[in-house]
Amino acid sequence: MKKTATRLADGRELIYYDASDDVVRDALDQRPLDPVATAAEIRHDRLLGDSVAIASHRQGRTYHPPADECPLCPSRDGRRSEIPAADYDVAVFENRFPSLAGEHGRCEVVCFTSDHDASFADLTEGQAALVLEAWTDRTAELSQLPGVQQVFCFENRGAEIGVTLGHPHGQIYAYPFVTPRTERMLASLAAHRAATGRNLFDDVLADELADGRRIVLEGEHWVAFVPYAAHWPYEVHLYPKRRVPDLLALDDAARTEFPQIYLEVLRRFDRIFAGWDGGGGAARDGGGGAARDGGGGAAGAAPTPYISAWHQAPVRAADRSRFALHLELFTIRRTSGKLKFLAGSESGMNVFINDVPPEAAADRLREVASE
């Protein structure tokens, strides 16, 4: 991998990650950009203990531009984008409309490929491995920034999720605090250790492997499963079998196998609703029924919207080795043509109600395995 760092016209950092060592990245950003002005601040919710980012400047961010004006495509034919080069493998740059900035953290955009019409699932294993290297490198770099407490690599995919740019990309947030979700994991981890003397992450993984009903895919170094108490209709957790705290700690064997496992899981996500009834109640959305449409009516359905999120140990945790790096992937679609909305119980009280039994979801994800 070759890493080349440069600056955009407004001073933001841009980094190219190339598979070939002989690539030269010398294209300059010639856009007449003003310096980025942000109004990000962090406010503390005294009742819940949460931190909330207030970022009013994001109201002006780019919103569903046509493909020929995509800011994440390479610059071509006089059309200048956030990527000055005419082509690229993987590119990472500081977000022009960050939720976190300055002393309040940092936000970056990760462009997985220069192909506007692709998705992560379309990448080759080599391309996916390069993205993994970029995630790892950015985790290392961002962890060194003063005040950063947690590094979060993630991908939002699909208009239903709220994505405003169709180009295949993800983001990285460097938080100046430990996120509420991670705080809850750490509390559960500590309580389990106090009660049993064992590691909770290890026990969860061992229990899933022993049960077997919710295992979606297992390799030599990784295992993907639907969790016992899945919050979302189709939710998969991907763990390395050897517990490590973050992406930097993965060994070469795990890095080599990751693209194989992850790409297969993503491709299954794109197939889980194909051929299923789009309006009925029994299409695997509630009771594991077998209602197919018989004619493949949903086979041409839009790609599955999802969120893919890496969970890494907080940068300055007391004993980071007890945390288990893992990826959580889920979709808000519960069956063809129907979304899982976070309504009263979920949004008001944070109590999820899942219409799809985790065992039925795992069955379906095994059914759509690649030939």
For the beta sheet containing 2-7, the strands, ordered from the edge strand earlier in sequence to the opposite edge, are 2-7, 13-18, 90-94, 106-111, 169-175, 150-157, 306-311, 326-331, 234-240, 222-225, 215-218
Question: Are 359 and 217 found together in one domain?
Answer: yes
Q: Give residue 15's pLDDT.
A: 98
- Token pair for 185: 């994991």
Question: Are 267 and 236 found together in one domain?
Answer: yes
Q: Give residue 96's pLDDT.
A: 92
Active site residue 116: no
Question: Are 157 and 287 found together in one domain?
Answer: no
Q: What is the CATH number of the domain that holds 154?
A: 3.30.428.10
| Mean pLDDT confidence for 103-110 | 94
333 burial type by CB count under 10 A (0-12 exposed, 13-18 middle, 19+ buried): buried
| Mean pLDDT confidence for 215-237 | 98
Per the CB < 8 A criterion, the answer to whether 253 and 311 are in contact is no
Question: Are 157 and 204 found together in one domain?
Answer: no
The values of phi and psi at residue 175, to 5°, are -85, 145
Examine the pLDDT at 295 and tell me if it is beyond 70: no
Question: Are 186 and 64 found together in one domain?
Answer: no
Q: Which of 177, 201, 227 corresponds to the end of one domain?
A: 177
DSSP state letter for 120:
G
Question: Are 46 and 172 found together in one domain?
Answer: yes
Question: Are 337 and 262 found together in one domain?
Answer: yes
Catalytic residue among 104, 167, 169, 326: 169
Examine the pLDDT at 321 and tell me if it is beyond 90: yes
Instruction: Specify the 3-state DSSP secondary structure of 137.
Output: helix
Question: Are 158 and 295 found together in one domain?
Answer: no
Question: Are 6 and 142 found together in one domain?
Answer: yes
Q: Give residue 35's pLDDT.
A: 85
Instruction: Of 127, 124, 63, 134, give the one whose Cα is nearest residue 93.
Output: 134
Q: What share of the chain in percent tops pLDDT 90?
A: 81
- Token pair for 144: 């060194």
Q: Give residue 78's pLDDT.
A: 82
Q: Which of 125, 153, 177 corresponds to the end of one domain?
A: 177
Examine the pLDDT at 297 and tell me if it is beyond 60: no
Question: Are 153 and 56 found together in one domain?
Answer: yes
Other CB atoms within a 10 A radius of the CB of residue 135 amount to 23
Per the CB < 8 A criterion, the answer to whether 242 and 254 are in contact is yes
| Mean pLDDT confidence for 216-228 | 98
Range of the domain at 38: 2-177
- For residues 18 and 275, the model is more confident at 18
| Mean pLDDT confidence for 174-203 | 97
Examine the pLDDT at 291 and tell me if it is beyond 70: no
Per the CB < 8 A criterion, the answer to whether 283 and 335 are in contact is yes
Question: Are 139 and 233 found together in one domain?
Answer: no
Q: Which of 177, 206, 225 corresponds to the end of one domain?
A: 177
Q: What share of the chain in percent tops pLDDT 70?
A: 91
Q: Give residue 60's pLDDT.
A: 62
Q: Give residue 58's pLDDT.
A: 72
Question: Are 241 and 284 found together in one domain?
Answer: yes
Handedness of CA 108, 223, 318, 189 (dihedral sign): positive
Structural domains of the chain, count? 2
pLDDT digits (tens, 9 = 90+) for 323-370: 999 999 999 999 988 999 999 999 999 999 999 999 999 999 999 999
How far is residue 158's CA from residue 302's CA, in Å, rounded to a whole number? 9
pLDDT digits (tens, 9 = 90+) for 125-182: 999 999 999 999 999 999 999 999 999 999 999 999 989 899 999 999 999 999 999 9
